[in-house]
Amino acid sequence: MLIAEIIGTVTSTIKVKKIEGTKLKIARTIDPEGKPTGKFFIVEDGVGVGTGEIVLLSDDDVAINRIVGIDQTPIKSAVVAKVEKINIYDLKDQA
């Protein structure tokens, strides 16, 4: 899975039948501290997130087929969760 920020939407009035009715968003991957990592994805949004929200993305074809309920979907990345908070623990401090 990847951490990403939703930075926009994609409007497409004509789609292949397998993805008709899906909502497409533009996601930019970020590190756990919120800094952009330079990768962008067009993702299916079945969660209903908005621009500026932090999300978890799946880029696993098999998992996405199960999530969207479509066999052999052309969708390669999908929002699977909205992130409320990220906690980073420095294991060196616990020694």
Q: Report the pLDDT value the prediction gives residue 53, as an integer from 0 to 100.
A: 97
CA atoms of 24 and 22, how far apart (whole Å): 6
CATH number reported for the structural domain that contains residue 83 in this entry = 2.40.50.220
Task: Tell me how many domains the chain contains.
Answer: 1
Over residues 6-24, the mean pLDDT reads: 83
Share of the chain above pLDDT 70, in %: 76
In terms of residue numbers, what domain contains 82? Answer: 2-94
Q: In angstroms, rounded to a whole number, what is the distance separating the alpha carbons of residues 74 and 33? A: 31
